[in-house]
Structure 1
Amino acid sequence: MGCKSKLLISSAIILVGLAAPGAAWADEAAPQPANTDEIVVTAGRRAQSLSEVPSNISAVTGDMLENAGVTDVNSFTRLIPGVVMLDEGPRASGNRNTLIIRGLNANAMNPNDDNPSNTQEAVSTYFGETPVFFPLKLIDIDRIELLRGPQGTLYGSGSVGGTMRIIPKAPDLSHFSAEVNAEGSLTAHSGDPSYDLSAVLNVPIASTLGLRMSGGYQHLGGFIDALGLVQMDGTDKFHPGAPVLADPANPLTSPAATKAPEKDVNDGYTAYFRAAMLFEPTDGFNATLRYTFQHTLVNDRYEENPYYGTGEHYVHYKDNLDPQESDIHIGSLDVNVDVGFAQMTSATSYSQAHAKSSSDSSPFLRVNIPQYYFGFPRLIAPIYREQTRKVFTQELRLVSKPGGAFDWIVGAYYNRNHLDFSMDQRMPGLSDYVNALYGLNPPLDFGDVLAYGGQDKVTQEGALYGELTWHATDKLSLTGGIRGFKLKTTGTSGIPLPFASRTTSWYYGIPLDEFLLGGIEPLSYKDSGVIFRANAAYDLTPNTLLYATFAQGYRGGGSNALPLTDPAGNDNSQLLQYDPDKVNSYEVGLKGDLGRLSYSATGFWIDWSNMQQQLVSQLGVSYVGNVPGARSRGIELSLAGSITDRLSMALGYSYTDAEVTKSFLLNASLPETLIAPGSPLPGSSKHMATASVDYDAPLSDELGLKLHGDISYRSPSQSTFADIDIIVGGVDTFTGDNFIRFGSATVLNLSATLDFQSYSLTLFANNITSELGTNSGNAEEYYGAKSQTYGVLRPRTIGLRANFKFGN
């Protein structure tokens, strides 16, 4: 038995051991903990008990989140088996959604790219009724619903793997209440304490009008030490300037001067505010107006390099730090009206997310294309990126009232997504160096700009959808769903290369402009389609539900900013657009309860056709194309509920086998790179398991003790596709493992809470074993021994959390 397996088993024993006093309290009067069956969800666009929903849905209530100390999406994913996320702490590169459900992912697990994703995410995310992804703080949350498998008919494009819905708490019109939280903690390998302050206020303004507000400030102490930073002459962290010469007397040969080691460089802070106003004049009408704001600044990534220098963990040797600053504004208006025969909902939202960042491209240039920079000894090239995404969404739907032979849902949906992205890559001093190296007089203006440009595009989606359920008998229900959609993308995109164009023109005497790869090109794409869903549900017993589902999901297509013909004369006409991809999912499940315990068992098979994939053209330019596809199959098991009146537990397990089904050409430049059938999909772990235990023990009439423990495990995964064949002249010359293997990870968290009337004090320890949890990285083959990096989790963190609640 391996060390990880032993740790998982022994830790589970520890969790159960925490609750050992349960026998002593078993017969004492106490309120029964809520069974997971009693959680009401709205994933199907109508309120249902979790046990009644004929699909595999996980729901975690706000109380469960609070008990587990979960305040962000990263930590939430470790409560649910079968869900993976590239964990960068509060720094989400390019504000990209990296959630993976059921192994459906084609993107490399590489955190060094702050560009917005060229393909739509495989998991759709919602905050309330607003489709948006941002690393939001999970404070004052009513529940989180996780829908596994494609949800295309109800949730549209981008839900091929599933959908995550974060439901914030609504204003309470009947009671005034307030809550204050203060937390402080210390992290291993860090001399920088963390702290978190937050507050929640609920005010009934009148019997029909209420206001709820929450906000806070969090500082996360750094735990990564930088041992190889170079000295730059700038003071702006996002525009660091030029490297300082170690030997100013010899600019043609002098390397960059280095800085003294810096500790805890990946610190950051988050400030957030949320407000909601509910107007409910009658039982048949309510309107909720919401506003959410969050601002985050992180000074570097959660990454290390233990394979260079001292060989220590939690250090790196990068030339520059990779800071990111981001903010988001979300405004929404949700209106619900009882129109007699149905409930009508109008959901209107607008969000604006902005991010700016700097990341160091120097290692990649030094290792892969140093010949283009004439032996420049200070090859330092940070990339500045900035993006603004504005999204308007309007949805209108009617949901029938329950009780008849038929239930139905019909809706209309419109989404407008405007992305404005720019980048600027410079290598300060390069032009002067080339002029001095070749003694050019008069000097030529090559410029220090290696690349610039970006995207300015608008994507629009319109859809009509509907679902009809026939309750054929008291036990049998049959459901059919359909969604028709239209997509349209317009705009411009491109990355001109000024330095390469000008030096190539001078060196070879070839007239070129700076649009070496085509420059800024127009984007134009239109498409439409229809997807379906079918479900059969049968009550084997009053407490046992058997169901089978066929469901489809899709991601919208788009266009690539490529010239019809590249500078080498290659024809790109077939690369200008990429089509939507689609999944067909087949699922069978059984769910029910055994007294105090609820359970579910699901088996699934998913075919992913016409899969969108980042490819490389003959000239070596990245673009999005369609490849034959992949498939994912597996099982998901869960068991949760109350063992005694004081003791509750939850267990979960998932097995996922996700792989490429047909070979495809990943890289068409020489040498060609072919991905073989059977290659696992990036970031997918075959085995994942979670366990949690909660014990509630009264110490006196006014004092209580709550014990909580949770543990999560995921088996090894890899950074990108495996089974890579290198082809030269049409001959397979090499088969290798040109990817990073990530080991398994086991994360254990424990906490103990003392409750005294309206006060509580919690002692917690997160990631007790300082599990590295690496599931992302930049390999030595591409970034060099010194600058290779691997993402890590925040190590062992021990802290104290105080909470005060007043009002009813």
Structure 2
Amino acid sequence: MHKLNVSKALLPTLIAAAASSVSYGAPALEEVMVTATKRSASIQDIPLSISAVSGESLAAAGIQDFDDLIGSVPSLSMKSSGPGRTKLNIRGISAATGFAPTVSYYIDEMPISSISSGSSTSFAQTVISPKLFDLDRVEVLRGPQGTLFGSSSMGGTVRLITGQPNLAENEGKIAGEVSSTKDGGLNQTLNGMYNHVFTDKLALRVVGSITDNSGYIDRVYDDGAGNSGKVDDVNTEETESLRASLRYQLTDDTYIQPAYFNQTMEMDGKPNYDGPGSDDSQIRPFNAAEPFEDEFTMTSLTINSDFDGVNLLINLSKMDREFINSEDMTDAVEALSGGFSYSSPTAAAFVDETVSLKDETFEVRLSSNGDSNFQWVAGIYNKDAEVNSDYVMQRGFEYVTNNGLANTNDRSTYDESAIFGEINYTFAEQFTLTLGLRSLDYDFAQHKEDWGLVYGDTTLSEANLLDVNNSDEETNYRVTLAWDFSDAGQVFVTSSDATRPGGGNRSIPRSTDSADVLAFACNNDLNDLGISGNPTSYAGDKVENLELGLKLDPSDRLRVNASVYHLKWTDIQQRVNTSGACGFNFTANVGEAVSQGIEAEVNFAVLDNLTINAGISYTDAEFTEDTPAAGIMDGDQLADVPEITANLSIDWSMPLEQGEMFVLAGVSYVDDSLEIAGDKNTDVTAFTIESGNVKPSYTIVDLRVGYNSGKNWEAAFFVDNLTDEEAIFTYNDAIVFNLPNYDRTVRNRPRTMGVSASYNF
């Protein structure tokens, strides 16, 4: 806990500064409106555990990416290999494998499918990383959300609500910042928004962003043949995004809104360093680029109409995403081979991964829009998704075999249909009963072609073929009883569940011929696990939730929300590892786990010009039965789940003769977590991880000081990661597996100082 001392020393100084220029107005907190229940309502009236951050708060704090929010939302954690490669966890429901995530992710009305790839490490289940300029708000719903938001909402749901076209007036904003990162270079960001009113019934809103972030990790190379050197700051990031939405108000009660969102991100190198012993640099035999590109395009059409007592919403959304990822695996192959060396080639050996996603969703829902004691929502939903993943170890292997080492073409389709509904009935004036139900069915199909040296030195035309079909039907429910014990408070109890769909595995080579070393070893390993044939598929898993919550507004200036919960996770999709001689792993439904904890948020308007926000969560997530096949014992902890997270922010302003000066300070603490499920002493050398199994706790301090003109412009000086704290996100940023003697370690951005300015017109 020593790392909290810096923040403890900083906060009293800021509070003292605030007290020296007190403004004794009538402080009050703003009402927060959300659409978490498919209708607009105050966050304090909804019997759900929700955190909401307004677009104004995001802009004031200079938050550009969703990852920057994670430390400030209770019970929300992540595993990340950089932008576009982040897996989200809520309330300890963290998935190490499976093609579907445990947290659903929405942009406006569209659920975003995660990427599923041939990788067995940190690239599966990752979501897009959209830039957050001109967002209306971010909503984080904690706990299973299976009834309204469907499959893959076992831990919760994240919703990004974009700024909407304004029919009332033309408006615009330009914002930019320039900064410098320790051990890196210059960073530049330019954002712009313009809302144009064509008529009183037609308006267009366009948002654009350009980001150029320097790298802060160096590549050190030495091929042993006299070619050595260093390349500075290889993990640069360039991102361009364009978002547009057009609203046509057909009648006073009906509008039609098409929307478009495109974002392209390019990184010249991996955002990782090799440790321990690498001096925070990438150690490579060759100076070989490892680029990563991620592009997505979203289009949608929304029709919204209000009738007498009923609202109709129709949404059709489509998303195309493609990423290209290359990794130098020279050292890894040399360690695996045993029979050949990479001391003679003049170029690196690569694994190249290309993944494309096509995702179409359609939803129609009706909901009540009156103020009676009986409220309801009902709808139908359909999703069609296709993921094509090419996972090729070809470049650099020509001198060993023309067929590459181990290659996979993976073609997967996922279709889901659902009907859902929820009713809310208020009785005896103070009690509200919520009943929700969702019935869904899905079909998953997968076709894989595996070829190369490890598959008998086969060509693509001779590939080992694997076809998997997996389908199921699920029913999710929610029952909530809320008691408004006064005008200022509510308690609620909830029982609910959520599910995640099953999927397919890669084929594993098997042979009884000892001369076929790898296939023979795999055959023995699968026999030892009691598996005949190939473990080609796995089923869905499920979470059941029991929760008690409190929402309290004892005054206009104080708000306290808290929940205590107990989650039971069954038929968990877990990775089963074979021996090092085989080297393959697969996913199976084994074991159970329990995650229980408490979370709380407090908002306090101390003075008219001073607001304090705080949050804390405690999560105890562990397995409750032995599963030797997955290397799990009863009592082992889940990976990537910090036991404690805490955050504190202060927003203070001082009125001047013209405009005002402001100070924003934030401190977030994230407890240590495990890289691999188990405990702190788990031997992770089988995963080629040298740093041990613990990702240390960290405390991040951010500071922003600026001036607001009170009219149309603002300027600020900021320091992100003031104390230059290192936060480890993973030790295992590898498509294949870690290199011998080094961990491919991903960390946060070092201390970054800069200036920002914005102009409204």
Scaled by the length of structure 2, the TM-score of the pair is: 0.90
Distance 1:783 1:576, change over 3 A: closer
Distance 1:353 1:429, change over 3 A: closer
Distance 2:454 2:753 in 1: 50
What is the letter of the counterpart of residue 101 of structure 2?
E
Task: Select which of 579, 588, 591 maps to 1:625.
Answer: 588
For 1:684, the equivalent position in structure 2 comes to: 641
What is the letter of the counterpart of residue 40 of structure 1?
M
For 1:318, the equivalent position in structure 2 comes to: 284
1:171 to partner: Cα distance: 0.8
For 1:744, the equivalent position in structure 2 comes to: 697
For 1:371, the equivalent position in structure 2 comes to: 338
1:802 to partner: Cα distance: 1.2
| Secondary structure at the counterpart of residue 170 of structure 1 | coil
Where in structure 2 are the equivalents of 1:84-233 lying within 5 Å?
84-90=77-83, 92-93=84-85, 97-107=86-96, 118-132=98-112, 133-190=127-184, 192-228=185-221
Distance 2:717 2:154 in 1: 40
**Contact in 1 for aligned 2:32/2:43 (Cα 8 Å):** yes
* 1:520 is aligned to 2:465: yes
Distance 1:198 1:589, change over 3 A: same
Distance 1:462 1:357 in 2: 32
Runs of at least 4 residues off by over 6 Å: 515-518, 724-727, 779-782
Task: Select which of 227, 238, 242 maps to 1:273.
Answer: 242
For 2:547, the equivalent position in structure 1 comes to: 587
Task: Select which of 68, 74, 81 maps to 1:75.
Answer: 68
| 1:623-662, Cα deviation, whole Å (9 max, x unpaired) | 2210122110000011013111111110000000111111
Distance 2:360 2:176 in 1: 35
| Secondary structure at the counterpart of residue 418 of structure 1 | strand
For 1:790, the equivalent position in structure 2 comes to: 745
Distance 1:784 1:196 in 2: 35
**Contact in 2 for aligned 1:720/1:739 (Cα 8 Å):** no
**Contact in 1 for aligned 2:508/2:584 (Cα 8 Å):** no
For 1:660, the equivalent position in structure 2 comes to: 623
Distance 1:563 1:4 in 2: 46
Task: Select which of 577, 597, 621 maps to 2:558.
Answer: 597
For 1:20, the equivalent position in structure 2 comes to: 19
Distance 1:120 1:661 in 2: 23
For 1:60, the equivalent position in structure 2 comes to: 53
What is the letter of the counterpart of residue 674 of structure 2?
Q
Task: Select which of 647, 653, 656 maps to 1:699.
Answer: 656
Give 5+ residue unaligned stretches, structure 1.
Answer: 108-116, 231-254, 435-445, 503-512, 668-673, 728-735
**Contact in 1 for aligned 2:455/2:509 (Cα 8 Å):** no
1:473 to partner: Cα distance: 1.8
Task: Select which of 474, 478, 491 maps to 1:546.
Answer: 491
For 1:465, the equivalent position in structure 2 comes to: 420
Distance 2:420 2:690 in 1: 44
| Secondary structure at the counterpart of residue 44 of structure 2 | helix
Distance 1:725 1:26 in 2: 54
For 1:560, the equivalent position in structure 2 comes to: 505
Distance 1:636 1:137 in 2: 28
1:721 to partner: Cα distance: 1.3
For 1:406, the equivalent position in structure 2 comes to: 374
For 1:649, the equivalent position in structure 2 comes to: 612
How many equivalent pairs are there?
720
What is the letter of the counterpart of residue 716 of structure 1?
D
Q: Percentage identity across aligned positions? A: 25
**Contact in 1 for aligned 2:276/2:690 (Cα 8 Å):** no
1:562 to partner: Cα distance: 3.1
1:12 to partner: Cα distance: 3.3
Distance 2:246 2:144 in 1: 33
| 1:325-350, Cα deviation, whole Å (9 max, x unpaired) | 11111001111112323111111100
**Contact in 2 for aligned 1:286/1:336 (Cα 8 Å):** yes
Where in structure 2 are the equivalents of 1:244-255 lying within 5 Å?
255=224
Return 466-475 or 421-430, whichever deviates more: 421-430
What is the letter of the counterpart of residue 413 of structure 2?
V
Distance 2:691 2:664 in 1: 42
Give 5+ residue unaligned stretches, structure 2.
Answer: 113-126, 512-518, 684-688
Distance 2:620 2:366 in 1: 38
1:197 to partner: Cα distance: 0.9
Please provide the CA RMSD for this pair: 2.7
For 1:347, the equivalent position in structure 2 comes to: 315
Distance 1:759 1:564, change over 3 A: closer
1:80 to partner: Cα distance: 1.2
1:422 to partner: Cα distance: 0.5
Task: Select which of 437, 440, 449 maps to 1:482.
Answer: 437
**Contact in 1 for aligned 2:565/2:598 (Cα 8 Å):** yes
For 1:111, the equivalent position in structure 2 comes to: none
| Secondary structure at the counterpart of residue 575 of structure 1 | coil
**Contact in 1 for aligned 2:167/2:203 (Cα 8 Å):** yes
Distance 1:121 1:695, change over 3 A: same
| Secondary structure at the counterpart of residue 643 of structure 1 | strand
1:409 to partner: Cα distance: 1.1
1:14 to partner: Cα distance: 4.0
1:788 to partner: Cα distance: 2.2
Distance 1:341 1:703, change over 3 A: closer
**Contact in 2 for aligned 1:682/1:718 (Cα 8 Å):** yes
What is the letter of the counterpart of residue 152 of structure 1?
G
1:754 to partner: Cα distance: 0.8
What is the letter of the counterpart of residue 125 of structure 1?
Y
| 1:742-794, Cα deviation, whole Å (9 max, x unpaired) | 11110000001211221111111100111110131139997456542321111
What is the letter of the counterpart of residue 238 of structure 2?
Y
Distance 1:352 1:178 in 2: 29
For 1:440, the equivalent position in structure 2 comes to: none
Distance 2:46 2:733 in 1: 44
Distance 1:628 1:737 in 2: 27
For 1:501, the equivalent position in structure 2 comes to: 456
What is the letter of the counterpart of residue 24 of structure 2?
A
What is the letter of the counterpart of residue 421 of structure 1?
S
1:375 to partner: Cα distance: 7.5
Q: Larger Cα Rg: Structure 1 or Structure 2?
A: 1
Distance 1:738 1:66, change over 3 A: closer
| Secondary structure at the counterpart of residue 79 of structure 2 | coil
Distance 1:206 1:48, change over 3 A: same
Task: Select which of 519, 532, 535 maps to 2:480.
Answer: 535
Distance 1:425 1:632, change over 3 A: same
**Contact in 2 for aligned 1:171/1:278 (Cα 8 Å):** yes
Distance 2:416 2:664 in 1: 44
Task: Select which of 720, 730, 734 maps to 1:766.
Answer: 720
Distance 1:738 1:798, change over 3 A: closer
Return 297-306 or 685-694, whichever deviates more: 297-306
For 2:124, the equivalent position in structure 1 comes to: none
For 1:242, the equivalent position in structure 2 comes to: none
Distance 1:365 1:33, change over 3 A: farther
Distance 1:330 1:156 in 2: 20
Distance 1:62 1:76 in 2: 12
Distance 1:356 1:742 in 2: 28
1:200 to partner: Cα distance: 0.5
**Contact in 1 for aligned 2:478/2:495 (Cα 8 Å):** yes
For 1:443, the equivalent position in structure 2 comes to: none
* 1:755 is aligned to 2:746: no
| 1:36-79, Cα deviation, whole Å (9 max, x unpaired) | xx110000111110111101100000011111111101102122
1:489 to partner: Cα distance: 1.4
| Secondary structure at the counterpart of residue 9 of structure 2 | helix
Distance 1:778 1:318, change over 3 A: farther
* 1:718 is aligned to 2:661: no
Distance 1:523 1:779 in 2: 28
